[in-house]
Structure 1
């Protein structure tokens, strides 16, 4: 048996030969000998798209396998370049994989090596033809919304899927699209209704495209585009791109709570819910910015109308229509401004009768619930009217309207209480006298006078208290004093 024991040296005049110490049985017998480096064996090369798998048979020095192999790739014109990736450098096995191989015809050569100094003869070429198909859009791993997907392959191919194909011409390209791990796109009805893959032919050429608007996707989620190219020699190349699409805008968020409208508070707090986790808010037409629920606006907010908006943003960058909340900040206190009396149609001038009325005016509409607890102002509310002969005044029981003094004697002859109603008319409250059971309680007055009204703790709808509560409000007399009732 022959084996390499130790030492290598060049033998003059011998190409690709090793000078070796050889041993035979018994081990004590050692002598010098020479062995020629072998020729590499022809490799087998197969291509899958731009990836080439190369394999070859092992060769030996004597009966000892060489330590490795170098691979060289030659183009159709005979220009060499070292193999790359898994086939780069010295390969110690009998196979390797090179990725990213350019399109075209290639010849792989295997050269045996022993150690760092000895090289055998090149093998005959093992040829392979690389034909590839690529996907330009959509890009694998990317997330697309309506706008980003619609950009597609550019202005001339907006909304299209597209890619490239190469090989021995003509190259035929077919594609399929799958929703997640479920059904495939059916070109026949343009829906994802097929249980098996439907390859849709796109014709020949170095560039391919598939019109596929975002509205074709039935729901948000993962999709896989697979492209298959077959060149004129029958070589098949395929590739795929798995991407995520959000083809619809997310639902509009729901604003659940906000400030009272109107309010005298110069800060605001909102709570809202959304079907997606990312939301953006805007106050008074400001740029939308990321926010969460609850959102507090510290203020101080200026007096006037304000608008809060919140919209949802999904992972594809789609935005929902905004939910909007509008309210008014009012920090101005209302004032009581006037009191007037009116005689009912057909009534006796100067005599308090059923149907006569008092009108109490404010600088702005007041909150009906602050006038009579629980009243919403939509319809008249019942009150009691207590007339006092001593003060010549009437007070409105069960309300915050206070007391009206008539400003002259003679109207009230003795104390009495009658029913009545209060109704709203803009910024006025109208008190209408009900049935007078004892007409003798009232006298007839013919001389004019000035009424005064002392209002109670009325508030406006924003919650501002009456600025002149408890203060006399004198009757205004446009054109001179009048006779009440």
Structure 2
């Protein structure tokens, strides 16, 4: 009878499970050789899952489930609903199609909408109670990257704006713009800006002083709310931030003149390290090139009793500076201007020629200095520039006095 009793218990258990259907939450097993002894074990409810979204992919994770007696389950059935309660159960697809034996899966290409996921533990042919639903999960169905942003930057970066270059542009409205700045001599760097509702964006002032002079590239990419990143828009600037300097100031005696005396035909030459913007010296001159002023009473060279030379022109307010001659050529004020052609080889009139990085002043007729300056000790003239002289890139020339090499009239 013992064998028949065991068979009867098993048969009744099978009938009970079959009658309850696949949603039954218990199973029966024999616990000893005593056919009259059997007990049931229940599957716990599945744990509420967590979700995250990457584009159209939804990642689902959950905690492990066991039976009431501590047995491990053999898998999980994953589903989703289109509403927070009620609604139609939709079995998950792809890597989340059950049974899933791990504690995480990713359902790819999830349709548009807001979805609530559930987890149901399974043990062989039996399944436990479905979990509570996850928070609403909305996959991103926008896979179109935004257009490349427009980028505006100044054509020229000089010593005046090298530390705060203005950069901006337009991009997809409310997108995240990543601006990358690169150049020679240093590593590139980036900053992130949020475009406004009209698509405009403005970077924080950009310091490009770390790069050497040359081309600076500003590259911007936009990323939309769906995580799509588009192509790059670019702009370039020419960086020239090294200011010009006075390279030399030299005095020269006219050929055949009296060495050590200031007289007609003597010259003063001022040389700069870079091409000087002609308009910053005389507003009627071009920015680049060369210009000569000469003729009757067009250029006047004045020398003060303390031997400081200055120049004035007709037709513009000259912005040049003054030359300390470095020696006592005169103890009285002198003026050299003149008119006519003189002796045919050395004109009577004073002249001034600017040619890029050099200014040459030639003295015309006037009263020569009363003193003769000897060659020993050596004479060193110095030049003090006027303010607002710049190179052609807008870098200002220092107004500090610069002493030239040994020279004399």
After TM superposition, the score normalised by the length of structure 2 is 0.43
The structure that has the greater radius of gyration is 1
Using CA pairs below 8 Å that are at least 6 residues apart, which structure has the higher relative contact order? 2
- Structure (1 or 2) with the greater strand fraction: 1
TM-score (norm 1): 0.38
